[in-house]
Amino acid sequence: MDGEVRVAGGLVYRFRNGAPEVLVIDDLFSHVTLPKGHVEPGELLEEAALREIEEETGIQGRIITPLEKVSYAFSAADGTSGHKVAYYFLVEATGGELKYQEEEIRGARFLSLAVARQEAYEYGYENNRSVFDKGLSMIEEHGVDASLYPSTIDSTLLTPGATVADITHLCREARAYQFASVCVNPRYVYLCAELLGGCPVKVCTVIGFPLGATPTVVKVAEAIQALNDGAEELDMVIPIGELRSGSIDAVEQDIRAVTEVAGDRAVIKVILETALLTPQEQRLGAQCAERAGAHFVKTSTGFAGGAAVEAVRLLRETVGDRLGVKASGGIRTPSDMRTMLQAGATRIGTSAGAKLVALPGAPVFE
C-alpha cells in the first residue's frame, strides 16, 4: 500500500423547465459515476471539487453543501495501490458548456433524477450509491431553496487576530460557495477585492465598528477609504447612545452622511445593536435608517449580544419589503439560520458560513 489519496468531486444539479436534472459521467470502464479528481497541495476540498467538475465536464458551479465521504482501497494500472478518500459535494451548476474530457471519460450527461438513480444502481459503482441516494434526496426535499442559502451569507472575519492567511482562506471559501459577501475589517478590503475579482462575491467592511461612537466625519472618512479600496457593502454602526438618548435627528444625520458619500457605489447596512435597545428604540432606529437612504437594517455587531428572533421580526415589520434585514451574532447552526430567515432576515452574518449552509444530514469535512 502506498498511502492515502484524497479526491474531491460532486453531484451537480440544475433546473431545466422547472425540473431538476443531475450530471453524470460515463467513465472509461463503462460505469456511470460522478466527476472527481485529486486534491492538489494547498487546495481546499471545495476548490478541488469545482475544478475537477469543470475540467471533466466543462460545467462551472458553486458548492451548496457537503454531501458524502467515501473511503475505499484502490489498485492503479502502474502497480501502485493505496487507500482513497473521496469527498463529494452537492453542487449547483452556474455556467459553462457541457463538453467532456475525452482522454479521461467517455461522456457526460444531464439526466432526470429518476433516470440518474436508476443508472447509478444498474451501471454505477456500489460505493457511490449512497452519494447518489443522499444527493438526489436533498434535491427532492429542498429543491430551489437549497441554492438560496449560500446567497444569504455574509461570511465574516472581524477578529483582531485574523491573519492574511485567514483572510485568504475566507475569500477562497466564499468563492467556492458564492456567498453574498465577505465582511472584513477595513485593513483587508484591498486584499479581498484582489482575491475576489471576477466572481460575484462582494467585499463588505465595517464603519464605526464596533461601538458606533466615532464622530460622523470619521465614519465618512472610513467609508471613502473603504470605497476606494474596493468595498461594495458597508456595515455601519449607529451612535447607539444618541438613539437611547432620544436624539433621533443626530442618528439619522449620521447614517445619511455615509449613505450620501457612498451614493450608488455600495450597499449600506445599518447596525442598530438591538440587544442594547428597547423594541421602541429598535423601531425608531430602523425608521432612521430608511429615511436616511440605507439598504439594510442589521441587528448586531456580535460584540454586545447577538441576534434575537424577536428583533428580526420587529425590524421586518418596521421596514416591510423596502429594506433588507441582516441577522448577525450568535447564529451558529443551520437551524438557527433558517429560523432567522423565516423570521424575515434576508442576510445572515456569520463566521461559520460553510457549516450554516449544510443541509440536514450533511457530513462535516475536516
Check which CATH number belongs to the domain holding 331 and give it.
3.20.20.70
Same domain, yes or no: 160 and 129: no
Same domain, yes or no: 320 and 177: yes
pLDDT, tens digit, for every residue of 22-60? 999 999 999 999 999 999 999 999 999 999 999 999 999
Same domain, yes or no: 135 and 41: yes
Q: Which three cell numbers stand for residue 179?
A: 456567498
Domain termination site, one of 107, 142, 177 = 142
Residues with a known catalytic role? 235, 298, 326
Angstrom CA distances, 70 to 61, 73, 122, 137, 241, stand at 21, 10, 19, 18, 54
Same domain, yes or no: 71 and 156: no
Domain termination site, one of 81, 110, 142 = 142
Same domain, yes or no: 124 and 231: no
Cβ neighbours of residue 225 closer than 8 Å, sequence gap 6 or more: 186
Q: Is residue 364 part of a domain?
A: no
Same domain, yes or no: 214 and 276: yes
Confidence (pLDDT) at 1: 41
Nearest by Cα to 326 from 279, 286, 278, 280: 286
Q: Is residue 159 part of a domain?
A: yes
Same domain, yes or no: 9 and 101: yes
Cβ neighbours of residue 363 closer than 8 Å, sequence gap 6 or more: 66, 67, 68, 69
Q: By three-state DSSP, how is residue 46 classified? A: helix
pTM: 0.93
Q: Is residue 110 part of a domain?
A: yes
- CA dist., res. 322 & res. 59, Å (int): 36
Cβ neighbours of residue 331 closer than 8 Å, sequence gap 6 or more: 306, 307, 337, 340, 348, 349, 350, 356
Q: Is residue 366 part of a domain?
A: no
- CA dist., res. 332 & res. 89, Å (int): 21
Rg over alpha carbons for the chain, rounded to the nearest Å, is 23
Q: Where are the beta strands (DSSP E) in the chain?
A: 4-16, 19-27, 32-33, 36-38, 59-75, 81-96, 105-112, 153-157, 181-184, 202-207, 233-237, 267-271, 296-298, 324-328, 347-350
Q: Is residue 278 part of a domain?
A: yes
Cβ neighbours of residue 152 closer than 8 Å, sequence gap 6 or more: 180, 337, 341, 345, 346, 347, 348
Same domain, yes or no: 313 and 178: yes
Angstrom CA distances, 40 to 8, 45, 67, stand at 10, 9, 20
Same domain, yes or no: 184 and 304: yes
Which residues of the chain register pLDDT less than 50? 1
Same domain, yes or no: 134 and 228: no
Same domain, yes or no: 130 and 214: no
**In the chain, what's the furthest Cα-to-Cα distance?**
77
Domain termination site, one of 142, 175, 198 = 142
- CA dist., res. 244 & res. 46, Å (int): 45
* Domain ranges, residue 214: 149-356
- CA dist., res. 153 & res. 204, Å (int): 12
Confidence (pLDDT) at 115: 98
Nearest by Cα to 282 from 331, 154, 254, 290: 290
Q: Is residue 365 part of a domain?
A: no
Q: Is residue 338 part of a domain?
A: yes
The domain that holds 86 is classified in CATH as 3.90.79.10
Q: Quote the distance between the C-alpha of residue 284 and its chain's center.
A: 31
Q: Is residue 363 part of a domain?
A: no
- Whether residue 1 contacts residue 23, with contact meaning beta carbons closer than 8 Å, is answered with no
| Counted domains in the chain | 2
Same domain, yes or no: 233 and 299: yes
